[in-house]
Structure 1
């Protein structure tokens, strides 16, 4: 049943002794808040001047106040006002905190930083000082106290929301929505807020207990509820004056505040412990690849990116650079990347982690983080300049003509929305289809990516799909339009070998049938060599070799390319010899050495390599950036670990 796991996690809080007790207490208090004023208001108002400040008795269990009114009845009746004021203050805190927490995602970078700085300053102040400050500003009375406590609690909720929102917006399904051209506000409402609602409600429950205590404190200080109205704090204030005559006048309302506050806090914490997002791990398995049919129309030697105007060029990139702020200035993580992808062509990008593969793809798809700076001599997709100002037309083009398949299928979809609805959103947003037509298109695309029973699956949530089915559904989202380019970033990561083959076969079939260009990013040179027409080898943020995929295994000319190929075991690998390794560590983007970045790890490096960076030069065999391109490397240089390299 849909939603059952979530309900079960909530109900599991009631299976613990603490959860049961606190839940019963909280329910009892809420019931009293409703029925107590109806049943006992008259008894609470009854004045008996002959029985002033009387001690506990059978008639008055906790004695009477300075007008002879029953303390227990007044405490019970005060439950409603105390709970109403506490919940009102909590609601203000949550609403204001929610607005402030999401503001940095809706506003520009400068305004967002200003809001964040304001939240940080407000959080640094003790909540009690803020409450007293706002109480003075808004004036004495219940209304002023509600505003004071609500605004004093808002910064902590804002910090919580800001942290949770930042975690959600970094996930792939939000990036996919951006690629589809969905606006910031819609992303916030449809994708972000549903995923932070659960922890926000839990924390609001805990916060209600704190608001109750804070409100009782203000009323006790004379800044909250004023006579003749009374809440628990006001009763406590009145009871303290007669503490030595009748201690019950102060103890009973004080006990009500204590028990109710603890019940809210502990019940919220019980739910918080029970509610969690389950994680699923999939063991990594060796990769098996079946080569799809290759496109021969566009194969051939790789050269410089076309200067422009070629009809079959889908993506044209020239001197692409991506930089992020660093402690000592901008850090360039992508440095002068140049390549082109033609219609129906499959281009693979390989390299170690941190080589700039994924950031190159994100820059092309306009998904680089706001802090990142993207520059290029040319960055064109289907002839459109991606370096110009963002427009609705360009977002529509990216959303329909470029498909992005992310690395982790679990984060590719919004876990709170059904699969069909997420796919249908693309057609509703870009194709102008109504809800029924868009859902029919989504079901059709799920069937196109070979998901069985697509109508039933379209009504399911992402957690009900296996890893391979989620990845296929993500590809289905990409082909909701008519893509000219599919960018697949490690699409087979953490999938078993059978599912890997199915995903790769699916991408190959889509490419073959619709003449779609493919950019495949992977650590696995075997996958890229079998699937792609051309291979770009990246190291330290730049392309060090561009060669035909058929030459990757045997004719790579850059030492790094040869090392990547040699590091993949094969059936011919000698079992009694050390495995080939690449010595040392990848270059830190913030500290790229002069000369060739690979020189410190290269067995062929000379002094020239350490002082002069080789250009990416092209000939009939491709492009390579190396002063010793094609020179042979002894097998022993690839099969032993060098310990002298830092």
Structure 2
């Protein structure tokens, strides 16, 4: 593939910027050799002369040629600006990446520090640090670098926060990628455009800032000189020879514009291309797969899972006491309205809840391993190869600047010790299994070259790269057309049946759950309120909320002259859940008992549990009158 930098010369602004910056660099390199004598030789017979053919910018108070001095000063001005920019940007990026590197808790302290430092004007900070480090070249560089760092820290913080929450970063966490590696491979490349643009802008601004410091007498000190020192020296003769000031000023402006133009062009060309790299785990594949052998017929056992945010009186729990078991080859659907806690339940199981959130459980056992007691490395290996998570939106679940094949191979190279070629062969095999045409070519493409259905299939292929015992599919058919949705769901079922893997399917569409899974968990306000076989969903559902969800699904017999069935009211906010049954305000059959206490999930028949005080009454009354009572 051609270097992305070649795209810079295809833009007029890039050509102009490249020409100016190249000229500045050339002058900086050859300036001291070509113009050194004219810049330093004193001519007492040519003091303070104006513009002439022999002296384009005139001469200074010692008869030295000002044009030559500007050419010579280019090297020091450019070098100091670049050094200050590099140091400032590096410090800013490291500090601004604090949340990714340290986690949300320590990251909040970094955020406070960034806010405090950004509250002071940059000029004030430059003067403050210049006073600390001294009035000299080193002090000026450090002062400008430290004054620049907070700006880049805030920019980096904002940009990384928008990327860190995306699905492909969560996927990297699932397979156990370290925080520094997540930052370098998945986060920073995706915010490179803004950082490159601002860094090049900063280089031009730094030259102007150094000029300002030297002009004020707190930057470069004699006998050294840069553009600012030349401006200071020429100011005294401005009314006699304006070019003594305008010459150095023009040099600063042209150099700054060159960097700005080049930065704008480079920002559009560089950020979308990150080199694909891979690391090899020294452990061999056979050893890795042996450690992940199935340990129990029950793939997943969860007891009293809670997800909590906040602390003390301000805490609330969007997931409250969820318990479930899934055996090998089983398929369980989780259904409920938006905000019922479905996705957070899945994230809690996959150990993806980060501070300030907390996921706790009396028991969280996966494939015979209690996740709370195994070591961090073993847990990452277990979750990274035996657990497959298909996220809700495939467009944000893939890193847009890395090829599909490289993203599929990360987990098995890290945890199973495969070589790059072995991992690539497996990726092509998995892409073939999920029905993508020309899998070799698809592995070399970027996510944006895939349609939504192809991206979802590639996500499933990623989950199959290891030896998955459980596939968690969180709204896997969102934004897909009906035909593609059907194909994706059939693919998931077929793969689970072939590999005897368990499936946990999360959806707000009860019709999808009914057709795809063997067991259904109905969630409301963070709790499971009914658990029953999917085959009995339409005939034996006992909870009024389950019946209401069923009635809200239109079919071919729905009277089109009537408005669609809806459930009155709204689901409660997690912070608003009171002591009674959360569904009571929307239920036609609620009593004072329902409003005073919350029913427990209790057996209501073979393989059937329900959390309702009056399940029989609700079942008898809801089914015949669903269309009327819930409109």
Cα distance in 2 between the residues matched to 1:7 and 1:634: 68
Check conservation: 2:581, 2:595, Cα contact below 8 A: yes
Cα distance in 2 between the residues matched to 1:25 and 1:328: 61
Cα distance in 1 between the residues matched to 2:625 and 2:88: 67
Instruction: State the partner residue of 1:631.
Output: 620
Instruction: State the partner residue of 1:548.
Output: 533
Query: What is the correspondence of 1:276-355 to structure 2 with a 5 Å cutoff?
Result: 311-325=296-310, 328-355=313-340
Aligned with 2:97: secondary structure? helix
Check conservation: 1:596, 1:609, Cα contact below 8 A: yes
Pick which of 572-581 and 383-392 moved more.
383-392
CA-to-partner distance for each residue in 1:470-496, whole Å, 9 max, x for gaps?
111111111111111000001111112
Does residue 581 of structure 2 align to residue 596 of structure 1? yes
Cα distance in 1 between the residues matched to 2:80 and 2:346: 52
CA-to-partner distance for each residue in 1:412-463, whole Å, 9 max, x for gaps?
2112222111111111111111222121222222212222222222122212
Check conservation: 2:193, 2:268, Cα contact below 8 A: no
Cα distance in 1 between the residues matched to 2:209 and 2:553: 64
Query: What is the correspondence of 1:152-551 to structure 2 with a 5 Å cutoff?
Result: 152-265=147-260, 268=263, 311-325=296-310, 328-388=313-373, 390-551=375-536
Aligned with 1:632: secondary structure? helix
CA-to-partner distance for each residue in 1:525-560, whole Å, 9 max, x for gaps?
111000000011111100111111112233321111
Shift of 1:608: 2.0
Aligned with 1:318: secondary structure? strand
Instruction: State the partner residue of 2:53.
Output: 58
Pick which of 354-363 and 395-404 moved more.
395-404
Measured at CA, do residues 254 and 205 of structure 1 come closer, stay the same or move farther in structure 2, by a change above 3 Å? Answer: same
Measured at CA, do residues 253 and 2 of structure 1 come closer, stay the same or move farther in structure 2, by a change above 3 Å? Answer: closer
Aligned with 1:130: secondary structure? helix
Shift of 1:236: 0.7
Does residue 130 of structure 2 align to residue 145 of structure 1? no
Cα distance in 2 between the residues matched to 1:272 and 1:575: 54
Aligned with 2:218: secondary structure? coil
Shift of 1:106: 2.1
Shift of 1:190: 2.0
Check conservation: 1:314, 1:517, Cα contact below 8 A: yes
Instruction: State the partner residue of 1:75.
Output: 70
TM-score (norm 1): 0.88
Measured at CA, do residues 376 and 53 of structure 1 come closer, stay the same or move farther in structure 2, by a change above 3 Å? Answer: same
Check conservation: 1:2, 1:460, Cα contact below 8 A: no
Measured at CA, do residues 572 and 386 of structure 1 come closer, stay the same or move farther in structure 2, by a change above 3 Å? Answer: same
Cα distance in 1 between the residues matched to 2:438 and 2:252: 56
Query: What is the correspondence of 1:110-129 to structure 2 with a 5 Å cutoff?
Result: 110-129=105-124
User: What CA RMSD, in Å, does the superposition of the two structures yield over aligned residues?
Assistant: 2.5
Shift of 1:614: 1.3
Shift of 1:108: 5.2
Measured at CA, do residues 21 and 437 of structure 1 come closer, stay the same or move farther in structure 2, by a change above 3 Å? Answer: closer
CA-to-partner distance for each residue in 1:282-301, whole Å, 9 max, x for gaps?
xxxxxxxxxxxxxxxxxxxx
Shift of 1:251: 2.3
Check conservation: 1:399, 1:430, Cα contact below 8 A: yes
Shift of 1:101: 1.7
Shift of 1:571: 0.9
Q: Which runs of 5+ in 2 are unaligned?
A: 273-293
CA-to-partner distance for each residue in 1:25-60, whole Å, 9 max, x for gaps?
444434433444443333323332111011222322
Aligned with 2:314: secondary structure? coil
Check conservation: 1:599, 1:610, Cα contact below 8 A: yes
* Structure with greater helix share of residues: 2
Tell me how many residue pairs correspond in the alignment: 606
Shift of 1:274: 9.1
Cα distance in 1 between the residues matched to 2:45 and 2:481: 85
Q: Which runs of 5+ in 1 are unaligned?
A: 278-308
Cα distance in 2 between the residues matched to 1:262 and 1:476: 48
Aligned with 2:176: secondary structure? coil
CA-to-partner distance for each residue in 1:613-646, whole Å, 9 max, x for gaps?
111111325111112322322766645777xxxx
Shift of 1:276: 9.4
Measured at CA, do residues 326 and 21 of structure 1 come closer, stay the same or move farther in structure 2, by a change above 3 Å? Answer: farther
Shift of 1:61: 2.6
Instruction: State the partner residue of 2:291.
Output: none
Check conservation: 2:349, 2:364, Cα contact below 8 A: yes
Cα distance in 1 between the residues matched to 2:568 and 2:6: 51
Query: What is the correspondence of 1:578-589 to structure 2 with a 5 Å cutoff?
Result: 578-589=563-574
Shift of 1:72: 1.9
Aligned with 2:128: secondary structure? helix
Cα distance in 2 between the residues matched to 1:276 and 1:311: 46
